[in-house]
Structure 1
Amino acid sequence: MLHLSGEHVYPVEPLDENSATALFSERAQDADPHFRPDPADKAAIRQICRRLDGLPLAIELGASRTRTLTPTELLGRLDRRLPLLTGGPRDLPARQQTLRATLEWTVDLLDREQTRDLLHIAVFTGGCTLEAAEAVCGTTIERLSALIDHSLLQHNATATGSRYAMLETIREYAIEALERTDRVETLRRMHADFFCDLAVRTEPELEGPAQANWLRSLDDDHDNLRAALEWCFGGGDAELGARLVGSLWRFWYLRGHLAEGLRWAERALAANPKASPSLESKLLRAAAILAQQRGDLRATAEMTTRRLAVARTQGDAQEVAACLNNLGLVAIGEDDIRRAERLLRKSVSVFGEAGEDASFRARIDVPLGNLSWVALIVGDLMGAETFASESMAIARSRGDVEQIIAMTLVLSLIRIQAEQFGEAVELVEDAFRLADPLDSKTIFCTLCTPTAILIARKRNFERAAHVLGKRLALRDEIGRPRDWFHYRVLEDTEKRVRRELGEETFLEALAVGARADVRELFESTLKDAERPSFATG
């Protein structure tokens, strides 16, 4: 770029998938006239082109290797692209005969600060925000712009703001160069510090009214968070990694990364045997909640009991109340409803004894909400409505969208039991409207329960099977086994839908639902539920 007035910039974008695969096949046939890709080769070629970022030179150099490697073999060797992408036509300039030479030629055009920034920004995985680049790399918007002008960095506008990223082929070159300097460990430490601070700042926001925006921010940096955790537990700073884990559990839960989150929590506990009581408690909470969502009640009870012992030793009443609530959930999972109710009521009592601590007392909405589920299980609809309404009011005052959705679903199930279907539809619609911006597979999975029951009670059994199929698909995606409450209230509905449709039609409808877009499925199902159909029964 010349940066002259009247100048128009037309960025040369990477090739789209179809153009990239066509180029690869054409160049592969130039290299080997007998090259005839079979279906497996074609699938490998698509993956190769994605791994090479759609860069024409990289694709041409890769295709030239088909003289000695099949596409599948070539794909298997692309963990390190640069040593493989050599051997361009000898009549081209030297800088175009290998991808490394091309990159070196481009980097030689940079000044010293720009070169330093290119290497430092490679510490990010999956790109970064301007704030992150400035904090970790000490760069400026002007120097980032120079890297963009040289096509070494890309700027992308996202829902959460501007992000800067390298194509992976360029990042491989830059990270190799960075690892040859004495700055690499310092940069990785600064990277981990930045993302730990981000997670700590984000944690309280994941229960507030701006929850959706903060979830999207963590989504954007999920790869950076993983990289920071790997560095921390790979010899960097295990305590820093533990702080990161303790702040991320709700993100993993809402986004359905249950197995991943549990692995990190267990790794953090193992790496920090002498953690401070507060840090140990946070790690035990993360591990216990994620284990409970994965259906491991024994591990949940064990870790929650350990957390409760720490809380009592420290005299932390809020932690004691939270542990009693979670042990109540374990008791429900073990079908010990009396013990569950006793523990949940004790949790409510401890929260209620908080005196002037309003933020502490506000947490009472969670055990109240769980008592509403217990009342619903035992058929106490009046008690369920009382508990749910109390929990809802407190959750609204806190701006806790997740809890509001949960209590809306309890109220919808109460209305279904009372055959007040119009009100039930409105409540499920309210819950879906709140859940939509969160884009949480975990919450969508939960939403399927009252939706399937509602539409089945209106005798639209095929649609009910679609919703049941989507619920099973979401449950499998997030690694959540059959859970205690939803199976209890869904079992009769599932049996009836299966009986009414017949086994073959039922299984076909489940498969249709599993493939459906979750939002389109909810919207169409709720429209069907609004119709005055079908006799109930």
Structure 2
Amino acid sequence: MTAPAPTGNLPVAVTTFVGRRREITEVRRLMSVSRLVTLTGVGGVGKTRLALEAAAQSRRSFPDGVWLVDLAALEDGSQVAQTVANTVGVLDQSTRPPAEKVAELLLRRQALIILDNCEHLLDDCAAFADGLLRAAPGVRVLATSRRPLEITGEHLFTVPPLSMPDPEHAVDAEALGQYDAVSLLAERAAAVHPGFAVTERNHTAVARLCARLDGIPLAIELAVTRLRVLSVKELVDRLEDRFALLTSGSRVALPRQQTLRALIDWSYALCMEQERLLWTRLSVFSGGFDLPAAEGICSGDGLEPASIVDLVDQLVAQSIVIGEHRDAGVRFRLLETIRQYGRERLAESGQEAALRRRHRDFYLARAQRVADGWCGPGQEAALAQLRADHGDLRAALELCMSDPDGPQAALLMTAALRQHWYADGFLPEGRRWVDRALDLPGQPVAERTTALWVAAWVSLLQGDHDIANSRLEECEALAKEVDDRTARAVATSLRGTAALFEGDLPEAIARFEKSVVSLRESGNTHGSLMSMFQLAISLAHAGELERAAATCDQALAISQECGERWVRSYILWVLGFDTWQRGDPAAATEQTREALSIQRGFNDHVGAALMIELLAWLAAAQAEFTRAAHLLGAADSIWRKVGTTIDAFGPHLGAHHARCEQATRRALRDSQYRAAVAGTENLTVAQAIAHALNEEPKAAASSDGEPGMVLTPREREVADLVAQGRSNRAIAESLVLSPRTVDGHVERILAKLGFTARTQIAAWVTEQRARSEHADRYPQG
């Protein structure tokens, strides 16, 4: 048999290919080390387009042709081999199996076969690919499928959605241009609506649109057609019913790719019955979920608990569910489009209400386990679990608030989540939830009593003393009515907290001494530790340093014995404060650093801010004024996030803050002080802790030295222009560079200085200029 040498049949693209540089690089790398690469991913994510682009860029590696075999319209799997034979130009008219003919044609050739859309013919595609690869050693196969072929030698690449911005942090229109989803939307929108551009007026809506569409290219393409009659904001507002809205696809596309609903319908139809059932039930989750949650909520009524792990695995393989490996284990999630489709199916089944109640009960039980087992090992992991579950905790709380059976669940859950509220960075939100729960009518006394002291504690942390005292008065009255000794003891402790925050040290000390005994007698170790650390700081403020240190030592021994760490960090903070008052700022610094290092495992905004504040005071006490200013800026950034100030924690701490700030301002020039504070005022809590512990990149630590020791001359030139407020594009024009080169310079500057924002670069440049001017005016020697 002879045949003309194949040259390939890759189609000519009619639209430009946007983004995906990393993905193309990775696919090409996989093709260089594996003879079978399968691109998987949710429908509409762009598997075919990525395969075509990667193949086009790899043509030189396949001198005998790159062949696209589109299997989408094929319904009979037995025709897969014949379809490939027809595509590559097999001329043999004999009765031999078409797979043999293809293998013979390609036996000594270097070619790439793209098997596109294999998911509905999986067994036949797998058998054909396996046979071809064994028979023709120069051939490679690139497949696209919603699930793997699962044959020997297969390398998988899951095609992710396009990169998209966080709509909550869409800073400016220019910055959005770095995201592939935005670039695709802008390019396609300009085609249907000439003159369309991402501007400062619409950039927030553009970011929201891309995020709501999950960065799925097909969804973006469908949405863009509506921009002929809707603004971007109007389009976002109408996306609640996305399946009805996104119905105007290409007339020449396959029917299942013409509307978003048809696309997801196709994926749904390809699933087995139990996979479809689990898909619909998983839609009850509002955020990510773990396997125990899926097993606890979605099993039963046709799904055995033991089957959930296999079914989740199958849905991950089909890209219906996305699995994300983290340090604590694997978390799963559904893209919003997939989740909404499943929720519609769930509503049609009549099981939605019952499943939402199971969802609520599961997360209520999880929250109660954390609260009950709080004072012991595993606190960091417990809070990380609640933090990961935050979206579903919100959904469960909403159902609690509307429960026709009464407010008991709402009270239980808001109280059980108390550590999540005040030790995990959700203080303002916790205040809103617990206040809502307490406003519900017809409340059981026991549950209301506990919720009242939780509400009082949250209110105190926000500086709302009047509301806190009102909550405590009612809590004490109800606790007496139902003889709840623990609630009475906690209320006594919180009365001490209120007195401490108001500057009444004798009252605070008396209350804490009483509550320590009562809570210890009731077996509430966590409560007694909380009272002890507050007793210690009250004693330190009152000048009773020996008693303060003894109380800290006793509390540290208890926390060590039970494996508790969160209150331990506060006790070490008090010990650092006490040591400073004794006249040893160096030792106090080490104790405070130890306290703050524990906080790295938590997300406790208040604790981190208090400890960074103390480190600032200690730095000023040791004449390290630039560092003190940096730390004051870092602490202030956290206080703003919490929605409170250090003054809420009593006049004694507020006075120390004021003295430190005044001393630091006197020691530094005004421009130096402002630059130092600005350099840390936009840090996250984790970044602020790292900064306070001197854990920034080494180059950042040298930023107090000569600029040339940190940045190259070109990087310094770019930094100066950033400080002038110029955009990357304007900098590129000024320096006659490409915008991409300037992007790289800015990224390296941020990395070298340990910064996260352009404003920090500007502050750093200002500080360096001030130092240079000072050196010129006052030369040493």
Residue 632 (structure 2) pairs with residue 468 (structure 1): yes
Residue 406 (structure 2) pairs with residue 256 (structure 1): no
Query: CA shift at 1:282, angstroms?
Result: 1.6
Distance 1:420 1:296, change over 3 A: same
Residue 658 (structure 2) pairs with residue 491 (structure 1): yes
Query: What is the aligned partner in structure 1 of residue 560 from structure 2?
Result: 396
Equivalent positions of 1:203-352 (< 5 A) are 203-235=371-403, 237=405, 238-271=407-440, 273-277=442-446, 279-351=447-519
Query: CA shift at 1:186, angstroms?
Result: 0.5
**Structure-2 separation of matches of 1:361 and 1:27:** 62
* The 10-residue stretch of structure 1 (67-76 or 385-394) with the greater mean CA deviation from structure 2: 67-76
Alignment root-mean-square deviation, CA: 2.3
SS at match of 2:402: helix
Please, which of 15, 20, 27 is the counterpart of residue 162 of structure 2?
A: 15
SS at match of 1:155: strand
Equivalent positions of 1:78-157 (< 5 A) are 78-138=239-299, 139=303, 140-157=308-325
Query: What is the aligned partner in structure 2 of residue 459 from structure 1?
Result: 623
Query: What is the aligned partner in structure 1 of residue 581 from structure 2?
Result: 417
Equivalent positions of 1:165-180 (< 5 A) are 165-180=333-348
**Structure-2 separation of matches of 1:311 and 1:488:** 36
**Structure-2 separation of matches of 1:505 and 1:73:** 46
Query: CA shift at 1:360, angstroms?
Result: 4.1
Please, which of 195, 212, 215 is the counterpart of residue 34 of structure 1?
A: 195
The AA in structure 2 aligned to 1:215 is: L
* The 10-residue stretch of structure 1 (328-337 or 504-513) with the greater mean CA deviation from structure 2: 504-513
Distance 1:503 1:171, change over 3 A: same
Distance 1:260 1:244, change over 3 A: same
**Structure 2 length normalisation: TM-score?**
0.64
Are the counterparts in 2 of residues 376 and 384 from structure 1 also a CA contact under 8 Å?
yes
**Structure-2 separation of matches of 1:312 and 1:470:** 44
Please, which of 428, 448, 458 is the counterpart of residue 592 of structure 2?
A: 428
**Structure-1 separation of matches of 2:551 and 2:367:** 33
**Structure-2 separation of matches of 1:147 and 1:406:** 45
Are the counterparts in 1 of residues 456 and 469 from structure 2 also a CA contact under 8 Å?
yes
Deviations 1:336-381 (A, max 9, x none): 22222222222234346x3xx6x34674333222221112212222
Query: What is the aligned partner in structure 1 of residue 353 from structure 2?
Result: 185
Query: CA shift at 1:177, angstroms?
Result: 2.1
Deviations 1:364-419 (A, max 9, x none): 33322222111221222222212222222222223221221111111111222233
Query: What is the aligned partner in structure 1 of residue 679 from structure 2?
Result: 512
**Structure-2 separation of matches of 1:228 and 1:458:** 50
The AA in structure 1 aligned to 2:234 is: E
Query: What is the aligned partner in structure 2 of residue 534 from structure 1?
Result: none
Query: What is the aligned partner in structure 2 of residue 533 from structure 1?
Result: none
Are the counterparts in 1 of residues 222 and 249 from structure 2 also a CA contact under 8 Å?
yes
**Structure-2 separation of matches of 1:78 and 1:509:** 44
Are the counterparts in 2 of residues 120 and 178 from structure 1 also a CA contact under 8 Å?
yes
Are the counterparts in 2 of residues 64 and 87 from structure 1 also a CA contact under 8 Å?
yes
**Structure 1 length normalisation: TM-score?**
0.91
Query: CA shift at 1:236, angstroms?
Result: 5.2
**Structure-2 separation of matches of 1:297 and 1:34:** 55
**Structure-1 separation of matches of 2:358 and 2:412:** 15
Query: What is the aligned partner in structure 1 of residue 532 from structure 2?
Result: 368
Deviations 1:201-228 (A, max 9, x none): 1113333221111111111110001001
Are the counterparts in 2 of residues 455 and 464 from structure 1 also a CA contact under 8 Å?
yes
Are the counterparts in 2 of residues 128 and 163 from structure 1 also a CA contact under 8 Å?
yes
Are the counterparts in 1 of residues 286 and 395 from structure 2 also a CA contact under 8 Å?
yes
Query: CA shift at 1:109, angstroms?
Result: 1.7
The AA in structure 1 aligned to 2:353 is: E
The AA in structure 1 aligned to 2:631 is: V
SS at match of 2:350: coil
The AA in structure 2 aligned to 1:250 is: Q
**Structure-2 separation of matches of 1:190 and 1:350:** 38
The AA in structure 1 aligned to 2:487 is: E
Distance 1:322 1:171, change over 3 A: same
The AA in structure 1 aligned to 2:378 is: A
Distance 1:121 1:294, change over 3 A: same
**Structure-2 separation of matches of 1:348 and 1:109:** 63
**Structure-1 separation of matches of 2:578 and 2:356:** 53
Query: What is the aligned partner in structure 2 of residue 535 from structure 1?
Result: none
Bigger helix fraction: 1
Deviations 1:511-537 (A, max 9, x none): 222124213311229999xxxxxxxxx
Query: CA shift at 1:283, angstroms?
Result: 0.7
Query: CA shift at 1:11, angstroms?
Result: 1.8
**Structure-2 separation of matches of 1:367 and 1:268:** 26
Q: Which runs of 5+ in 2 are unaligned?
A: 1-147, 165-178, 702-781
Query: CA shift at 1:297, angstroms?
Result: 0.9
Query: CA shift at 1:437, angstroms?
Result: 1.4
Deviations 1:110-153 (A, max 9, x none): 23222121111100111211111111111512222222233211
The AA in structure 2 aligned to 1:484 is: F
User: Percent of aligned positions with the same letter in both sequences?
Assistant: 29
Are the counterparts in 1 of residues 532 and 555 from structure 2 also a CA contact under 8 Å?
yes
Using CA pairs below 8 Å that are at least 6 residues apart, which structure has the higher relative contact order?
1
Are the counterparts in 2 of residues 455 and 525 from structure 1 also a CA contact under 8 Å?
no
Query: CA shift at 1:328, angstroms?
Result: 0.9
Query: What is the aligned partner in structure 1 of residue 151 from structure 2?
Result: 4
Distance 1:497 1:64, change over 3 A: same
**Structure-1 separation of matches of 2:376 and 2:525:** 16
Query: What is the aligned partner in structure 2 of residue 407 from structure 1?
Result: 571
The AA in structure 1 aligned to 2:377 is: P
Query: What is the aligned partner in structure 1 of residue 117 from structure 2?
Result: none
Are the counterparts in 1 of residues 540 and 548 from structure 2 also a CA contact under 8 Å?
yes
Are the counterparts in 1 of residues 375 and 525 from structure 2 also a CA contact under 8 Å?
no
The AA in structure 2 aligned to 1:180 is: E
Distance 1:44 1:319, change over 3 A: closer
Query: What is the aligned partner in structure 1 of residue 330 from structure 2?
Result: 162
Q: Which has the higher Rg, Structure 1 or Structure 2?
A: 2
Residue 691 (structure 2) pairs with residue 521 (structure 1): yes
**Structure-1 separation of matches of 2:336 and 2:677:** 39
Query: CA shift at 1:502, angstroms?
Result: 4.6
Distance 1:190 1:362, change over 3 A: closer
The AA in structure 1 aligned to 2:688 is: V
Deviations 1:282-328 (A, max 9, x none): 21121111111111111111212222223333444333222211101
Distance 1:316 1:236, change over 3 A: closer
SS at match of 1:3: coil
Are the counterparts in 2 of residues 15 and 56 from structure 1 also a CA contact under 8 Å?
yes
**Structure-2 separation of matches of 1:361 and 1:255:** 20
The AA in structure 2 aligned to 1:336 is: D
Are the counterparts in 1 of residues 214 and 336 from structure 2 also a CA contact under 8 Å?
yes
Query: What is the aligned partner in structure 2 of residue 59 from structure 1?
Result: 220
Count matched residues.
Answer: 523
Are the counterparts in 2 of residues 351 and 360 from structure 1 also a CA contact under 8 Å?
yes
**Structure-1 separation of matches of 2:309 and 2:512:** 53
The AA in structure 1 aligned to 2:678 is: A
